Chains A and B, each alone.
Chain A
Amino acid sequence: MDDHKEREHSHSGHGHGHGHGHDEHDAPHSHLPSDPALRVKALETLLVDKGLVDPAALDALIETYEHKIGPRNGAKVVAKAWCDPDFKAWLLRDATAAIASLGFTGRQGEHMVAVENSAALHNMVVCTLCSCYPWSVLGIPPVWYKSEAYRSRAVIDPRGVLSEFGVTLPETAAVKVWDSTAEVRYLVIPQRPEGTDGLNEEQLAELVTRNSMIGTELLSADSGSEQP
């Protein structure tokens, strides 16, 4: 079924014949309430009444992403890579398996690739087509990652974007932007900050921020204290 037919089909059931192509206001979703909170409530009520969703499953999903799956997963991966050369080599060779060995698998992290920052190379990640993001290691993406401003500019003006995050790279450093156009999800391994030689893996994980694993922050020995 091509795109045009799919639209026609989706409009066939409710008798609003239109003689022009600008029928988006007649699409099924336009029959929901206009206020987003009411819209979602109306949909939830309908779907629960029809038996299409289990309310307890909704609660479990929300609980999982609010409290169980988030950037602390990725921070553990990075800290282990900093401390364990064998793990780091595995992570760079087969990130999916290396990350799975720590228990972080699944939805929106099925296929992982880790890329390492250095003084000469800075990696940053975007999805210009939607907002693809490694949920299993970083949780739900922040608003800025999903914003039009970031999605549009990360590829054409990465250094300008980085400057808005307070990151200024030396002219000698190359910026490599990864556009997540498939189901492969990229995890940036930030540079280990100077002056952290005495810290153990757990203490190092505390320094690793979400943004540093997307590539919009450089870490220092006092990073990380602000995050959940």
Chain B
Amino acid sequence: MNNIHDMGGMQGFGAIPIEENEPVFHSEWEAKAMAITVAMGAWGRWNIDASRHARERLAPQEYLNLTYYERWIAALADLMVDRGLVTVSELQSGKPDGGATTAQPPLTADKVAAVLARGGPVLREIDTAPRFKIGDSVRTARDNPDGHTRLPRYARGRQGVITLHHGAHVFPDSNAKGLGEAPQHLYAVTFNATELWGRHASAKDSVTLDAWESYLEPA
């Protein structure tokens, strides 16, 4: 999706906001926003790719006007309504709709440590052999899908070299849409900075990103 979240190579955002002795959270609501988002994920009504896509779908002007955790909460509210966990009238009133029974949360305090320690590994066994090997020259796709994708615009239609094979991983473009994990081989692809940015980039520098096999063609 060609939305504002895909920021690599954009200019004009100013200086890096470096903060000395930065706290983990800047306010109680930021901490709560993180915790609520993680806790609601445990319902299993969406996956991490759908969650990222919900944030990407925020309109550009809104995205830029929201801080980091405000984006999380906005996307969470949209996902919860879409997946039937809350209704718009409940968001408006702040109270459960009449007649609703009280649910049992899947994530309770005693499970937090184990759930975080387990995480959500996305490595999968697949039957197909990897199409590429380390050292192969590849060119990235020039697709512009309107759904979720993890090939940033700055690296589309560019030539690079396979530098790592990560095994087969869940394919976000499919998983975000609820169409299944459809795992594919995943590779680190290294691009010369001049291939990405032109002759003013340093010829010594490079950018490496992780690309699923269907993003790549032999070059």
Contacts and interface: CB of A to CB of B under 8 A. Distances in A.
Contacts of A111: 121-123, 166, 169
Contacts of B102: 49-51
15 contacts: A3-B146, A28-B82, A39-B73, A50-B103, A54-B105, A61-B39, A69-B116, A107-B116, A151-B8, A152-B9, A155-B154, A156-B9, A175-B206, A183-B48, A228-B21
Interface centre among B69, B78, B169, B210 (most CB of A within 10 A): B210
Would you list the 9 A-B pairs with minimal beta carbon distance, nearest first? Answer: A128-B8, A182-B210, A56-B109, A106-B119, A24-B59, A51-B102, A29-B77, A51-B103, A28-B81
Contact of B206 (A107, A109, A177): A177
Contacts of B20: 226
B40 A7 contact: no
Contact of A53 (B18, B39, B205): B39
B5 interface: yes
Interface string A29-68: 1011000110111111111011111101111111011100
B94 A45 contact: yes
A179 B207 contact: yes
Given A31-B88, A156-B8, A182-B150, A105 B119 contact: yes
B36 interface: yes
Contacts of A56: 108-109
Contacts of A27: 74, 78
Contact of A181 (B32, B118, B152, B205): B152
A65 B34 contact: yes
B200 to A, nearest CB: 10
Given A61-B39, A113-B166, 10 more contacts: A43-B73, A53-B39, A57-B105, A62-B25, A110-B119, A148-B7, A152-B13, A176-B190, A181-B151, A182-B210
A184 B204 CA distance: 24
B19 A144 contact: yes
Interface stretch (A80-88, A135-143, A188-196): A135-143
Contacts of B116: 61, 64, 69, 106-107, 136
A143 B22 contact: yes
Contacts of B68: 131, 143, 146
A119 interface: no
Contacts of B48: 183
A199 interface: no
Contacts of B209: 178-179, 181
Contact of A57 (B39, B52, B74, B188): B39
Contacts of B27: 37
A126 B86 CA distance: 34
A158 interface: yes
Given A148-B7, A152-B9, A64 B205 contact: no
Given A182-B150, A184-B210, A228-B21, A46 B31 contact: no
Interface residues of B, number: 118
Could you say which of A28, A107, A143 has the most chain B C-beta atoms within 10 Å of its C-beta?
Answer: A28
Nearest to A164: B16
A106 B112 CA distance: 12
A158 to B, nearest CB: 6
Given A3-B146, A130-B55, A106 B117 contact: yes
A9 interface: yes
Contacts of B205: 158-159, 174-177
A142 B22 contact: yes
Interface string B164-207: 10100110100001100000001010100000110001101111
B16 A152 contact: no
A223 interface: no
Given A62-B34, A174-B206, A155 B196 contact: yes
Nearest to B102: A51
Contacts of B55: 130
A175 B24 contact: no
B69 A36 contact: yes
Nearest to A2: B147
